[in-house]
Amino acid sequence: MPVPSKERVVELLADLVRERGYDLEDVNVVAAGKHSAVRIMVDREEGIDLDALPDLSREISDAFDAVTDFGEAPYTLEVTTPGIDRPLTEARHWRRARGRKVRIESAEGKLDARVGLLDGESVTVVIKEKGVLSTRSIALTDVVKAVVQVEFSRPTAEEMDLAGGVVGSRPSPANTDEIVDVEAPEEGSNK
């Protein structure tokens, strides 16, 4: 397979990927000697069942094999989903990140916040300053870079409420008022 251009791969796959219910997020084509590597990144609103990716990968491979301009040389195809380190560059990325903690860089500086509701061309974020939670609206055009952060603790219920509630696969908020009832072992038991 001669190394196809990114544009050619996008042209070939855009309709196929969209018809399967995915967004074509990125294409990366790399020549490695006589071998090429083609990495296709897809995503969708409701998230992706990783068991569905092998089927999509086969369909993409069949689409490559059906065209003559890629030739006969071997290639490696990787169909994947965006990693947590993917920058939020499109409105749909912000919508999918609702409830997640992000680091936002703008002309005003860096800000760690929780993504709230997207409203047209701006997003509401939840920030914590001096222990107090508040919301702020940020125009997407003012964002230089935004990346989801890895969290090791659950957000509070108040934080998630300000962010617009728990969505999709987001973790349930930590409820510090919740009392966990642990069953005591029976008398005489060695539990």
How many helices (H) and strands (E) the chain has is answered by 4, 8
Q: Would the pTM count as exceeding 0.95? A: no
Measured between alpha carbons, how far is 104 from 23 in angstroms, rounded to an integer? 24
* Residue 36 CB-density burial (10 A; 0-12 exposed, 13-18 middle, 19+ buried): buried
Measured between alpha carbons, how far is 43 from 164 in angstroms, rounded to an integer? 22
Task: Identify whether the C-beta of residue 107 lies closer than 8 Å to the C-beta of residue 142.
Answer: yes
User: Residue 60: what pLDDT?
Assistant: 93
User: Residue 173: what pLDDT?
Assistant: 64
Measured between alpha carbons, how far is 162 from 113 in angstroms, rounded to an integer? 11
Task: Identify whether the C-beta of residue 76 lies closer than 8 Å to the C-beta of residue 39.
Answer: no
User: Residue 76: what pLDDT?
Assistant: 87
Q: Whats the size of the chain, residue-wise?
A: 191
pLDDT in tens, the chain (191 residues): 556 788 988 999 999 999 999 999 889 988 877 778 889 999 887 777 778 889 999 999 999 888 877 767 778 889 988 877 788 988 988 988 889 999 999 988 999 999 999 998 999 999 999 989 999 999 999 999 999 998 888 888 899 999 988 766 565 666 544 333 333 334 444 44
Task: Identify whether the C-beta of residue 118 lies closer than 8 Å to the C-beta of residue 45.
Answer: no
User: Residue 101: what pLDDT?
Assistant: 93
Beta-strand (E) ranges in the chain? Answer: 23-32, 35-43, 75-80, 101-106, 109-119, 122-129, 132-139, 143-148
Measured between alpha carbons, how far is 99 from 24 in angstroms, rounded to an integer? 23
